[in-house]
Amino acid sequence: MRLWIAIHLHHLSLDSVQARWPEPGHCCAILEQERIVALSPAACRAGLEIGMRRASALVLAPGAELLARDAHAETRRLHEAALALLQYTPQLALREPDSLLLDVGASLQLFRGPRALARRVRASLAALGLHGRLGMGPTAQGAWLLARGAAAGALRLDSLARRLDPLPLALLPETQPQAAWLQGLGCNSLADVRALPRGGLQRRAGPALLLALDRAYGQASEAHCWFEPPPRFAARLELMDYVEHTHALMDVAARLTEQLSGWLHGRRRAVRAITLALEHERGRRARPPSLLTLAMAEPVWHSRHLLGLLRERLDRLELAAPVIAVALSAHETVEPEAVSDTLFPEPGGNAADHARLLDLLAARLGPEAVRQPAPQADHRPEVANHWQPAHHRARVRDSQPAGPLDRPFWLVEPARALAERGHRPVYQGQPLRLLRGPERIESGWWDAAQTQRDYFVAEDEAGARYWLYREHGERWFLHGLYA
């Protein structure tokens, strides 16, 4: 199914320079060449209008916040949105200066349909602090026109035509050079222009107008230049004011993790560790950045999981100084493993669920508080394994032993001395019968715990088996229990 989602960031000028413009009562306007080009709702209620000069605006609203337009900031925010939205499709194109086009036909099944996908896209835009209108249709040009006109979406070409026909001509840039002529003919909508003779329209307006209409209605092919994510991820955000409490950093963290998730999807990578750098005041009272490093039990690429871990760490952090900027970097990335669903859900969750739980516990309790057993290159049973942080990945040259080893399920630590009767070891009053052995383990010459032992497998009258050893031919010790 061919389907496009177009995003028109109609408040990009405001979002780029003043994040608080949607607040009730915040009268804010953006000026370019001393004329208003964007308004907040409060400014509209105060009587300000697009095209009004600065002096006139101050007469009507003396307390209005008038800000200069920042074209570079708008371009940067548009690219941030493009990077974040790569988590929904790799086929994403920019339509500058304020729109994005997403080919989501191949993503519908993954995200459970167009409505659910549209909700996810809106949630990502909200996390980025952007306000946009979504249009949905089987052509990119048509979806873009629907987004600009705030019209309902369409899934088929026939319904798309019905949605496009009543839209005003001003939404299609190719009509503007001939706007006066078209209005003189009584053309006010796209349907009116399409009703004109094609030959005459092409001679008067040129081929660009007809081509734009044909692309919108699915009668001509479209070509796009896909957005490419950078080879490495590093995002930084300067704050508009000093931040002294970590809970105020969560919106910033959400904005950065959305970009990271999009970059990971776009590059087909997963991340093992990230670092959030909280930058403090510069100058004579400069302090080094506060670093929060998160190491994951398994590679991840979803923003929700990353944001949850950062929230746990930020809740436990006390800021040494106010924060003026936040930067996020990804250290170690790998190719993600293919994920497949099982026919029947496994009780207790799958491996990914277990890894997310370990990450959450490590973020809440500290990375050193969550540990897991790991093998160690030593033949002595009591030191052949050790505990390490759950996120640590030790390099194991060969995970398989050279041959089958007869080892017990449970190791008795420390080894328990046994009595001896008739040259046979005795455990709980019963003499044990030796089945196998000896197996010589001699190791540890490099430290104070050098051992030289002969290990045996023994059995009692009930059939229970034990792992015993003798040291230097002296008394017996119980070192393990078989299941």
Three-state SS sequence of 232-294? CCEEEEEEEEEECCHHHHHHHHHHHHHHHHHHHHHHCCEEEEEEEEEECCCHHHCCCCEEEEE
Q: Quote the CA–CA distance of 163 and 158 in Å, as a whole number.
A: 9
pLDDT digits (tens, 9 = 90+) for 352-388: 666 777 777 777 777 777 887 888 888 888 888 888 8
Report pLDDT digits (tens) over 182-231. Answer: 989 899 999 999 999 999 889 988 899 999 999 999 999 999 999 999 99
Angstrom distance (rounded) from CA 114 to CA 132: 17
pTM for the model stands at 0.76
- Main-chain dihedrals φ then ψ at residue 30, nearest 5 degrees: -105, 130
Query: Could you say which architecture CATH assigns to the domain 235-334?
Result: 2-Layer Sandwich (3.30)
What tokens were used for 195?
A: 């009703």
Name 187's Cβ contacts closer than 8 Å, sequence gap at least 6. Answer: 169, 193, 196
Burial class of residue 454 in the structure, from the number of CB atoms within 10 Å of its CB (0-12 exposed, 13-18 middle, 19+ buried) = middle
How open is the CA angle 344-348-351, to the nearest 5 degrees? 85
The single residue listed with the structure tokens 């046994």 is: 418
Give the model's pLDDT for residue 345. Answer: 60
Contact between 451 and 472 under an 8 Å Cβ cutoff? The reply is no
Return the CATH fold of 410-481: SH3 type barrels. (2.30.30)
Question: Of all residues in the chain, what percent carry a pLDDT higher than 70?
Answer: 93
Q: Are strands 65-68 and 28-32 parallel, antiparallel or unpaired?
A: parallel
Instruction: Determine contact, residues 363/375, Cβ cutoff 8 Å.
Output: no
User: Which of the 8 DSSP states describes residue 231?
Assistant: S
At residue 400, the pLDDT reads 54
DSSP result, 177-222: GGHHHHHHTT--BHHHHHTS-HHHHHHHH-HHHHHHHHHHTTSS--
Between 287 and 39, the more confident residue is: 39
CATH 2.30.30 in the chain is located at 410-481
Average pLDDT over residues 332-336: 86
pLDDT at position 282: 79
Cβ atoms of residues 37 and 13 within 8 Å: yes
The residues of the chain that CATH labels 3.30.1490.100 are 235-334
Stretch 456-479: mean pLDDT:
90
307: part of which helix (H) or strand (E)? helix 303-315
Pair 326, 319: CB distance under 8 Å: no
